[in-house]
Amino acid sequence: MFRLWAKIFKDNRLLRDTVIVNGSDDTRTHKIFQAINDVCYKFDLGNPHWLDANIRDFQRHAKVRFTSDNFIEAIDFDYLEIHVIEED
């Protein structure tokens, strides 16, 4: 079972969160990108762009924050944080 927790913060307050569950046999990378697509659809956001710093943070901690630098359109929150909370 793979579970990813996504949270939107503004002014250090949690505005929205969701947990995406994926039980497929896909690779970890495919599960992550599918979960991010699901989160962005649910929160009505464009997909964030992965910068080198985001990739390093995610590889080290299984957690990353996407700020306005990662989105093409303007966002009305401070950051979107994703965190892998369970893996097979």
Tens of pLDDT along 1-20? 999 999 999 999 999 999 99
DSSP 20: E
Distances (CA, A) of 66 to 26, 35, 54, 88: 24, 15, 8, 25
Asked if 46 and 11 touch (Cβ cutoff 8 Å), the reply is: no
Domain count, the chain: 1
Which three-class secondary structure state does DSSP give residue 32? helix
Q: What percent of the chain has pLDDT over 70?
A: 100
Cα(86)–Cα(67) distance, integer angstroms: 24
**pLDDT truncated to tens, each residue of the chain (88 aa)?**
999 999 999 999 999 999 999 999 999 999 999 999 999 999 999 999 999 999 999 999 999 999 999 999 999 999 999 999 998 7
Domain boundaries, position 42: 2-86
End-to-end CA, the chain = 5
Cα(83)–Cα(32) distance, integer angstroms: 10
